[in-house]
Structure 1
């Protein structure tokens, strides 16, 4: 039906939902406000068919919505909301909410580790809470616009899954020297070209572990297929990036499938 991602921080959660076909989500009750960023497609209330706008915010209570095929949405749910400020909560400016979301999405696209992603989520949630109380004190730095030469390098790494890392070749493809490409990427994303390449390979392994149709995913096969020859080193890198071992990913996938079978 699609994909669901969850990133938890000490102050709340960020959920990203992608629908590959039309779906309706019901029975969801939140005791805190919920902020919504519609990234693609359409999202509307399941009760009255009123469309959700990018940067929408909903007060505490029940939430039911429907998504069109191909829709992508991000939602933020704080664990708590300042009790003394409940009567002061307001939806706030949609453009400001979108700016906070977009900055977060840029940061996690180049996250150095799971801890870095959690820190970015925490900053997003705290920023949304502050904005819902007052526009003052909310840092709204613009999302960086990547250099077009750097963008070419990033697209090559992301889109050519069979490509083996070659910095001179990557620099020629980007139209910049190796030294300048290294420092350009480090300055604008916080990652080196190789670290970003490694990150993309880790993500591809995780997707295969989650999406495969076999009963027990073959971790070593998928890792080797993406160029990770040392399984122990791969497991350490995977845990650093996702906050869990590959075997734990397989375990919760199995638990999820077992739960789905119970309701089938």
Structure 2
């Protein structure tokens, strides 16, 4: 977990606000509607894969996200409305409901002040990684999470409570700044709360995984993969270790893991490579790590690694 950082911005210039809200990969353009005065105050706190902000705005602001963002944003408004317009739908952010956005490019965002909200920002790579772990297979692409959570519901109240804890804990004298394990646990709690309580593309699969434990031969196969993750093993080797036919093994993985045995092995090797690249005591190069875990084509390894973890192997953090 990276060290916590804090940035506070106040102003009246839409261009300054545009710069504040943009990232290098996902710029956001901001204008004052009808050229009327606007003002803003934003306090951003971040640590690793998660960030939290308290923002207030006066006036009516129009904004547009130009490209796909890399974070899931959760708005927890206490005052004022915001409307996020997309080519085929609009999502409104109003008090009483959390609004979840996957960072899609917008046709326009309209923010009507006075507007106050707390916001959470979670790297989509962390969301995908957690979901991959839960389903025990590689997940790629959008999660398609339902955009609304009722803040009076049990899940909504818990989400709001966690967001406030993160905001307080990452402040100047916050306890989470000196407690990286506690911070990591809170970040995981937010991520799993969303995945387990909000409707999304993989909700049914998560429910089936929870209700249908894998049969013994699938568990034996997975144990064998863990034991030989850095060895050259074939589908036949895995089936033999599980004491079933290849066909039965494949059916078991399709039914109970929604993947194939070799795809599951591939995922284990990607995670093993990631863990070694992030190990602060490891001196191995990217090419050495790739070869160790069975990836013979370095370019393909880099592309698959980036899809899985959100960055290139050379950018793996050893913090």
Q: TM-score, normalised by structure 2?
A: 0.42
Q: TM-score, normalised by structure 1?
A: 0.49
The answer to which structure has the higher helix fraction is 1
Q: Which has the larger share of strand?
A: 2
